[in-house]
């Protein structure tokens, strides 16, 4: 009897274990399926240096490219006893940016000390904002695959930049480092987004529109090659139907949109592999290794308390009155949407052209200067959107760093409109301007590219081509008008593209008798 009971008990235990095993397998399968349908969640911190003439807390110049440590003083060197004095323009640029991002403006704002040690931070703390940022709870809209998407702005605050460490290489190893403190104390806006982006495309659209907005606001030139615009990206993965966010990884010091995009794409795949293999993502800070094309661990993630924030004792609280705030709002520069509508009404451009030209403030400025030099809005638009944009994209130039300036382009269009050169020769001149930086008139003169407008000279070329193609001439006289295009092409070829096309057609028709 006891054996029977024991046997039954063992059977029940066995059945229970089997059931538990089945349930565990089912749970694991469900988790695996969930992990296979993971969604990225991305937030971005943008750091942009402001276009002020002096630093945030002292009178040192912000000019880029000066010799190391020549734009410093006791304040930005962190000398004992030196006291900061706030740059009012930097503050107003930050308020301007926060207003354009639809933020709530803090009426009473303060500065705080963010404490950490790094060789390019001589004070061992950075003056920033933590407890009362200038702007909160804003938003901006981007175009995503599903239409317009609103990205929240958590906060906008003002801080000072650190210096720059330089690591000269001696042989195959880095043996020492140098510190340049020219950048220390540069006024810096930090814009912290909400984690509202769900992929690399969202992130790229957000970075692009933010760069454009900052340029239109004239708060920053956003020259990434000079370190004036930098990104830090926070990425986590979660099951698509879940509200609970995954473990966040931060990627720091991304100095271009392309690098930011590559790091996002890589990190999404890395975290997917970790989760789908049953592992856990560590909360950490990582860096982008351009040579290897991967992100690498920099350090385990700090939390705000690690910085030991406390109020900056050397700067008083700032009262931003409603009147001051509205005065800044009233003087906001013309933004992209307003400029686009003006281009349509003032220059008669199609909406497509206006959208392309105003998609970059520097390009919009280039266009308007070009039209000011020679007023032919549509031709200027066509040349900028085709010839110029192709070169800018291929060579990664900004409009104001291209050898073909708005003066070059405006004068080139003027010479084509005046009949000095044809459109075909215009493309040749454009290419020469790119290579040499010479003005179009000089190139045309030096290379003998001026258009042939002499009727006698063109008549001679037309007669020569007609003689070489007597069969085609007779075919045209017999009604095959389409063959006219062939003869025109041959005439242009013989004149090396310099014959005036209008005169060519007129003289050719007259001589053939059609």
Looking at the DSSP bridge assignments, the partners of residue 140 are: 151
> Which one, of 154, 152, 155, 127, lies nearest residue 141 by Cα?
152
- Cα–Cα distance, 173 to 501 (Å, whole number): 64
- Cα–Cα distance, 326 to 2 (Å, whole number): 90
- Cα–Cα distance, 119 to 141 (Å, whole number): 39
Tokens encoding 59: 């009178």
Tokens encoding 391: 């070169």
Burial class (CB in 10 A: 0-12, 13-18, 19+), 506: middle
Looking at the DSSP bridge assignments, the partners of residue 48 are: 189, 229
154 Cβ contact partners less than 8 Å away, ≥ 6 residues apart: 43, 136, 137, 192, 193, 194
> Which one, of 95, 45, 73, 94, lies nearest residue 185 by Cα?
73
- Cα–Cα distance, 89 to 54 (Å, whole number): 9
The 3 state secondary structure assigned to 168-205 is CCECCECCCCEEECCCCCCEEEEEEECCCECCHHHHHH
- Cα–Cα distance, 343 to 337 (Å, whole number): 10
Q: Which helix (H) or strand (E) holds 295?
A: strand 294-300
Evaluate whether 250 touches 285 at the Cβ level (below 8 Å): yes
Burial class (CB in 10 A: 0-12, 13-18, 19+), 438: middle
- Cα–Cα distance, 153 to 43 (Å, whole number): 10
CA angle 81, 84, 86 (to 5 degrees): 170
Question: For the chain, which residues make up each domain, given as ranges?
Answer: 39-319, 334-447, 455-512
Evaluate whether 217 touches 99 at the Cβ level (below 8 Å): no
Evaluate whether 55 touches 82 at the Cβ level (below 8 Å): no
Q: Which helix (H) or strand (E) holds 99?
A: helix 88-100
187 Cβ contact partners less than 8 Å away, ≥ 6 residues apart: 49, 50, 52, 55, 56, 62, 87, 90, 93, 158, 160, 161
95 Cβ contact partners less than 8 Å away, ≥ 6 residues apart: 105, 134, 135, 320, 325, 328
Tokens encoding 2: 């006891």
What are the mean pLDDT values of the chain's consecutive 10-residue runs (514 residues total)?
62 69 59 67 97 97 94 94 96 98 97 92 94 97 87 97 85 75 97 96 95 96 91 94 88 92 95 91 92 88 72 96 96 95 97 95 96 96 96 91 96 92 90 95 88 78 83 78 81 79 81 75
| 384 secondary structure, DSSP code | I
pLDDT for position 51: 96
The neighbour count for residue 77, using CB atoms within 10 Å, is 17
Where helices occur in 358-512 by DSSP H, the ranges are 361-373, 377-383, 389-395, 406-417, 423-436, 440-447, 455-468, 470-477, 484-494, 501-512
CA-to-CA separations, 371 to 152, 339, 367, 415, 479, in angstroms, rounded: 38, 15, 6, 14, 44
Evaluate whether 85 touches 57 at the Cβ level (below 8 Å): yes
pLDDT for position 100: 97
pTM: 0.81
Tokens encoding 81: 């006893």
pLDDT for position 35: 46
> Which one, of 133, 46, 121, lies nearest residue 91 by Cα?
133
Burial class (CB in 10 A: 0-12, 13-18, 19+), 23: exposed
The CATH class given to the 455-512 domain equals mainly alpha
- Cα–Cα distance, 88 to 186 (Å, whole number): 13
Q: Are strands 249-254 and 284-289 parallel, antiparallel or unpaired?
A: parallel
């Amino acid at each position: 009897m006891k054996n029977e009971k024991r046997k039954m008990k063992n059977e029940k235990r066995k059945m229970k274990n089997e059931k538990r095993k089945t349930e565990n397998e089912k749970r694991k399968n469900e988790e695996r399926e969930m992990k296979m349908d993971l969604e990225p969640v991305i937030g971005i911190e943008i750091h942009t240096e402001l276009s002020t003439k002096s630093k945030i807390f002292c009178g040192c110049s912000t000019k880029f490219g000066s010799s190391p440590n020549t734009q410093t003083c006791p304040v930005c060197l962190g000398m004992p006893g030196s006291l900061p004095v706030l740059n009012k323009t930097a503050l107003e640029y930050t308020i301007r940016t926060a207003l354009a991002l639809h933020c709530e403006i803090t009426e009473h704002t303060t500065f705080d000390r963010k404490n950490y040690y790094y060789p390019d931070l001589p004070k061992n703390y950075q003056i920033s904002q933590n407890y009362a940022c200038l702007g909160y709870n804003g938003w901006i809209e981007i175009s995503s695959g599903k239409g317009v998407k609103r990205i929240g702005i958590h906060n906008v605050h003002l801080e000072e930049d650190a210096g720059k460490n330089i690591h000269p290489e001696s042989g195959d190893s880095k043996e020492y480092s140098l510190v340049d403190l020219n950048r220390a104390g540069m006024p810096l806006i930090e814009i912290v987004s909400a984690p509202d982006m769900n992929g690399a495309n969202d992130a790229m659209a957000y970075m692009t529109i933010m760069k454009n907005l900052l340029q239109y606001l004239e708060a920053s030139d956003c020259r990434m090659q000079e370190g004036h615009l930098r990104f830090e990206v926070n990425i986590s993965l979660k099951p698509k139907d879940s509200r609970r966010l995954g473990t966040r990884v931060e990627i720091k010091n991304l100095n271009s949109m392309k690098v930011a995009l590559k790091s996002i794409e890589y990190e999404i795949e890395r975290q997917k592999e970790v989760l789908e293999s049953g592992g856990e993502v560590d909360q950490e800070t990582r860096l982008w290794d351009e040579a290897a094309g991967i992100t690498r661990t920099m350090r385990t993630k700090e939390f705000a308390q690690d910085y030991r924030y406390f109020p900056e004792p050397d700067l008083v609280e700032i009262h931003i009155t409603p009147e001051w705030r509205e005065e800044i709002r009233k003087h906001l520069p013309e933004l992209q949407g307003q400029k686009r509508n003006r281009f349509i009404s003032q220059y008669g451009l199609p909406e497509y052209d206006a959208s392309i030209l105003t998609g970059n403030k520097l390009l919009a400025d280039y266009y308007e200067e070009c039209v000011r030099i020679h007023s032919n809005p549509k031709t200027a638009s066509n040349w900028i959107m085709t010839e110029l944009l192709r070169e800018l994209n291929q060579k990664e130039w900004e409009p104001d760093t291209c050898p073909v300036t708005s003066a070059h382009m405006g004068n080139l269009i003027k010479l084509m409109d005046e009949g000095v050169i044809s459109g075909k020769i215009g493309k040749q001149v454009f290419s020469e301007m790119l290579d040499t930086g010479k003005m179009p008139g000089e190139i045309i003169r030096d290379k003998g590219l001026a258009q042939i407008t002499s009727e006698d000279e063109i008549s001679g070329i037309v007669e020569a081509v007609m003689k070489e193609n007597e069969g085609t001439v007779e075919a045209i006289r017999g009604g095959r008008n389409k063959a006219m295009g062939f003869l025109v092409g041959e005439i242009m070829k013989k004149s090396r593209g310099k014959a005036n096309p209008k005169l060519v057609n007129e003289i050719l028709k007259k001589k053939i008798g059609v």
